[in-house]
Amino acid sequence: MTGHEPDQAMQIQGYLDRARVEYALTRAALAEALRHQPSGLLEHLVAHTDEMGVDHAMKALRDDPASFRLTASDTLPFAQLSLLLPKLAELNWEIGSLTGERENLAGRLTIADGRIFNVDGREATVDLASGTLRFFDQTSEPLNLETVEPRAVDKLPSKRRRRDRDR
């Protein structure tokens, strides 16, 4: 401990506050760009981008719109999306990193310690005992979490590639 932790934590919180405002403005602009699209597209797109990355999300929108519950007649504002989606992803990463720095300074290293983390630009905690997730900006009941065990993956026998020299 250096004694500078409160100053550092306040500085980090200032960066977080600014990043959250910019995130909210960018997300609102993205919502506006998608206002004529099917309900739930924004949330699906944000989650897909967070999980798979901007490039994959943009490619999936172009190549497989049905995976986002879009039809061939749905036209997307790709020019706006190509500007807003990377910015939103970068801000989400920045907020997550800053939140992690602040939590490390506070000594909250695990969920069991009450660690706060970022979900779509919002702060949340997990209560392992009750199996719930609570957003700090949410006044309603927390979300119930469900433990999902990983599926066993059947390994397919690999085929040996025939090479010219094997012929």
pTM for this entry = 0.77
Query: Which token pair is 84?
Result: 């807003």
Contact between 21 and 13 under an 8 Å Cβ cutoff? The reply is no
Q: Name residues whose C-beta falls within 8 Å of residue 30's C-beta, 6 or more positions apart in sequence.
A: 42, 45, 46, 80, 81, 84, 85, 88
Confidence at residue 167, expressed as pLDDT on a 0 to 100 scale: 44
C-alpha 38, offset from chain centre: 20
CA 77 to CA 33: how far, in whole Å? 7
Contact between 133 and 126 under an 8 Å Cβ cutoff? The reply is yes
Confidence at residue 153, expressed as pLDDT on a 0 to 100 scale: 65
Ramachandran angles phi, psi of 22, nearest 5°? -65, -40
Distances in whole angstroms, Cα of residue 130 to Cα of each of 112, 123, 127, 150: 12, 18, 6, 21
Helices of type H across 34-160: 41-52, 54-63, 78-106
Lowest average pLDDT, out of 92-96, 109-113, 157-161, goes to: 157-161
How confident is the model over 52-87, as pLDDT tens digits? Answer: 999 999 999 999 999 898 887 788 899 999 999 999
How confident is the model over 105-151, as pLDDT tens digits? Answer: 888 888 888 889 888 888 998 888 888 888 888 877 888 888 777 77
Dihedral of alpha carbons 139, 48, 82, 75, sign = negative
Contact between 33 and 78 under an 8 Å Cβ cutoff? The reply is no
- Give the burial class of 84: count Cβ atoms within 10 A of its Cβ; 0-12 exposed, 13-18 middle, 19 or more buried: buried
Q: Is the pLDDT of residue 21 over 90?
A: yes
Higher pLDDT, 154 or 106: 106
CA 67 to CA 40: how far, in whole Å? 12
